[in-house]
Amino acid sequence: MSIIEKAANRIGKPVAPAVPLAHVRTQMAPPAPELLTDSQNVAVADLPEVEAPPQGPAVALSNAEPAAPEPLPRPTRMIELDLARMNEVGLVTAAGGRTNLVEDFRIIKRPLIKRAFAARKPNANPGNLIMITSSLPGEGKTFTSINLAMSIAMELDHTVLLVDADVARPSVLRTLGLPAQRGLMDILLDDHLDMSDVMLRTNVNTLSILPAGTSNPRATELLASQAMKSLVHEIANRYPDRIVIFDSPPLLLTSEAHVLASHMGQIVVVVESEKTTQHAVKEALHQLEGCSNVNLVYNKSRELNTSSKYDYHYG
Ligand SMILES: Nc1ncnc2c1ncn2[C@@H]1O[C@H](COP(=O)(O)OP(=O)(O)OP(=O)(O)O)[C@@H](O)[C@H]1O
Ligand SMILES: [Mg+2]
């Protein structure tokens, strides 16, 4: 019996129609063979610089009617990811070499990337919007979101926006060793703020981050608001060629997570090995009924845990 079948048995058969994606030493359903053949990883340092937006004032072409000045593009702020530290704490980086973890995320990302830009039915949600969720807290949503974002950003042809949508317990920046910044909450609460005012470019040229933003007691409610729905549509329209990964709240603690799920083109449910109960997974999948492209990642599995690097995390 394959490791994926064992994992599926453990969490119980009724998890269908969600597709197990892999095993970190995480677990997804076996991708189609051609999906496993890729090897496009490149050193991030080799990627071309993203062009900075033009800074000069708009110029009127005709002197007959003075044209209304176009608003200047707002420069996106820049943060420096400490790649050495990320590597030390076991996150995927281009400099980390081919660890088991890198290989796991290579398998996990392949079908997600393929579906991200596949033709879709009219009215289907954009496949490039990918929600990472779980039944309960602590199963590895942020770990999976960051590693998936890094892994996809290491590819030649893809740019990634990582959104910290777990607004009640934001942890993307913290996990990266960075202080909190304005972000999603601030845009939802202030009509004058544009996404580009709070979005962070990083030293991984193909990766930007939208932090969760200023904490707010209504944070989780806001995720289910009309403003959030509009923002997700704006992200989809503005960045149709980016993969957008939403680190999201767990499904069983709040009712809002499933509203967020309804805007997504793909959903990844992280299941913590040997901890999450079959009942919890079934309940989570029940919340996702009607959503398309639901996938399972079986996380923190020890079965294939052979590298000492990987062992470190189980200490
Ligand atoms: N595959 C893994 N290998 C090793 N450690 C892991 C793995 N997945 C997650 N962890 C660790 O487990 C802990 C919880 O992970 P993480 O913060 O990603 O969970 P979460 O689902 O985002 O939690 P929360 O619901 O609180 O946001 C972290 O310390 C993380 O580093
Ligand atoms: Mg988290």
How many angstroms does the Cα of residue 141 sit away from the middle of ligand 2? 5
- Min mean pLDDT across 43-52, 197-206, 302-311 is at 43-52
Q: Which long-range contacts (CB under 8 A, 24 or more apart) does 283-286 make?
A: 283/135, 283/251, 283/252, 284/133, 284/134, 284/135, 284/250, 284/251, 284/252, 285/15, 285/18
| 307-to-97, 121, 287, 303, 314 alpha-carbon distances in Å | 13, 42, 36, 11, 12
299 lines ligand 1 (CB under 6 A): yes
Which one has a higher pLDDT value, 43 or 202? 202
Per-residue confidence (pLDDT) for residue 22, from 0 to 100:
72
Residue 33 has pLDDT above 80, yes or no: no
Q: What is the pLDDT of residues 255-299, one digit of tens each?
A: 889 999 999 999 999 999 999 999 999 999 999 999 989 999 999
* pLDDT confidence bin for 217, thresholds 50/70/90: very high
pLDDT mean across residues, the chain: 80
Domain at 77-314: CATH code? 3.40.50.300
- Distance CA(206)–CA(138), nearest Å, equals 28
Which one has a higher pLDDT value, 314 or 100? 100
Q: What is the DSSP letter of 264?
A: -
Residue 63 has pLDDT above 60, yes or no: no
Ion ligand 2 — residues with CB < 5 Å: 141-142, 171
- Min mean pLDDT across 9-23, 67-81, 147-161, 222-236 is at 9-23
